[in-house]
Amino acid sequence: LRRLRPVRVPGSGSDGADSPVASAAARGSSPLLSPDQLLAPLELQTFRDYGQSCYAFRKAQESHFHPLESLARQPQVTAESRCKLLSWLIPVHRQFGLSFESLCLTVNTLDRFLTTTPVAADCFQLLGVTALLIACKQVEVHPPRVKQLLALCCGAFSRQQLCNLECIVLHKLHFSLGAPTISFFLEHFTQERVEAGQVEVSEALEAQILARGVAELSLADYAFTSYVPSLLAICCLALADQMLQVPCPVDLRLGKHPEAALQDCLRKLQLLVAINSTSLTHILPLQICKKCSLSPSLK
C-alpha cells in the first residue's frame, strides 16, 4: 500500500502541497458533492423495475473485464509509476469536472491495455490521457478536447500520437469498453439499502460519498487490482458505514463474495485510509469530514 504523492496539475493553480488530490480543495471547493447535491432524488422506481436484473448482468461481466496482474508483462512500468500516473490523473479528472464513473473506466481501460501490450516508460503518460479520453467519450456529455489533454502533458505528445494510440487501445481491447465499475456497484448497493428501508436516504448518500473517496484512493494502488469492482465497492461502503457510525451497516453478504476475501480487502482499505487520511479529507465535503473518524478500527 502506498501514500499518494503530491502531484502538480498543469494549469490548476495548485502546487499540490498537501496531497495529490488537493487541487480542487486549494481552489476552495469540494471535489465530491455534498449529499443534498448528489442523487437527489434517488430514482427508486427505476431501481425497482430494473435494478436487480441490471446488477446480475453487470456482475456476470466482472470476470471478463477484470485485468489480472496487469504489470506482469511490463518491463518499464512499475506499481510505483502506475501510482504516480493515477495520482496525476485523479486531480486531472476532477479539474475537468468528470464523473467517478469516468475515472473508474479510465483505470480499467489502462490496466486492461497493460495486460496486452508492453508500454515504454516515456509513453505511459500518453496512455493515461488516452484512456481518460476513451472513458469520457462513453459517459460524459462534454468530454475533454484532445488539445486540452495534450496541454496537460506540456506539449510532450502530438495530436497524431494520441489518436494513433487511441486506435491501438481500441483494437487491443476489441472495442469492448463497457466494464462494470466500482461506481456502478456503489450506486446499486446504496439504492438497494434505501429501498429495503435499512437506512435514511441522507445516511445512505453520505456513506456513498465517503465510500467513493475511499475507492478513489484505492484506484491508484496496485495492491487493489486483484479485487473485482463489486467486492471493492461493498468493502468501501462497509468501511464508510463504520467511519460514519451508521446504525445499520451494509450487509457484506450482498455481493456474495468469500468471507476471507472480504476481510482481506477491508484490512487493506483500513490501512490505505490511515496512510492517506490527509488526502481523503481534501476530497470529501466538510460536513462528512466532521462526522467520520479517519482512523477506523475494524472489528
Give pLDDT, residue 33.
52
Q: Is 123 helix (H, G, I), strand (E, B) or coil?
A: helix
Where are the chain's structural domains? 1-299
Averaged over 112-136, what is the pLDDT?
96
CATH class in words for 1-299: mainly alpha
Give pLDDT, residue 176.
92
Give pLDDT, residue 79.
96
Averaged over 215-223, what is the pLDDT?
96
Tens of pLDDT, residue by residue over 43-93, are 666 777 777 888 899 999 999 999 999 999 999 999 999 999 999 999 999
Question: What mean pLDDT, rounded, does the chain reach?
Answer: 84
Backbone φ and ψ for 225, nearest 5 degrees, come out as: -70, -15
Averaged over 261-278, what is the pLDDT?
94
Tens of pLDDT, residue by residue over 198-215, are 888 889 999 999 999 999
Tens of pLDDT, residue by residue over 251-265, are 888 888 999 999 999
Rounded to the nearest 10 degrees, the angle between the axes of helix 100-114 and helix 182-195 is 140
pTM: 0.84
- Statement: residue 275 has pLDDT above 70: yes
Dihedral angle of Cα 71, 72, 73, 79, to the nearest 10 degrees: 30
* 127 grid coordinates: 496512455
